[in-house]
Amino acid sequence: MPRYQSLPQNSHHEVIRAPRAMTLTSKRSIVRMAISVTVGFIVCWLPFYVVTAVRIYSDYQYKLKAVKSLTLVMALSHSVVNPFVYIVFSRRAVGAAFNHLCQRAKLRCC
């Protein structure tokens, strides 16, 4: 029998029960998504900050034009990476969108 979480008995609110395993799974998924977004941010932006710091602390003796451009593109690509992270972690939304596209394709074919 699954364990349920609920509000205390002396509470005046409506009691909401959800299977404990379901809530733990949701929490784990949210934590994984938050970690993935954070890692993506660090991977995309850290090279830009490192190159900028090297240029500043070398008193701009190193030009690093090509590297600077590449790291800037990486930094700006963070806004492209985020939607894919959300797609990976929201299976229901992706499944619903896929089903919707399949239904539209069936209507056009028949």
Asked if the structure places residue 7 within a domain, the reply is no
Asked if the structure places residue 4 within a domain, the reply is no
Total domain count for the chain? Answer: 1
Q: Which residues of the chain have pLDDT under 70?
A: 1-22, 107-110
Asked if the structure places residue 70 within a domain, the reply is yes
Cβ atoms 82, 37 nearer than 8 A: yes
- Which residue range forms the structural domain that includes residue 32? 16-109
pLDDT at 24: 75
Asked if the structure places residue 3 within a domain, the reply is no
Q: What is the pTM of this model?
A: 0.61
pLDDT at 7: 52
Asked if the structure places residue 38 within a domain, the reply is yes
Asked if the structure places residue 93 within a domain, the reply is yes
Encoded tokens for 18: 């959800």
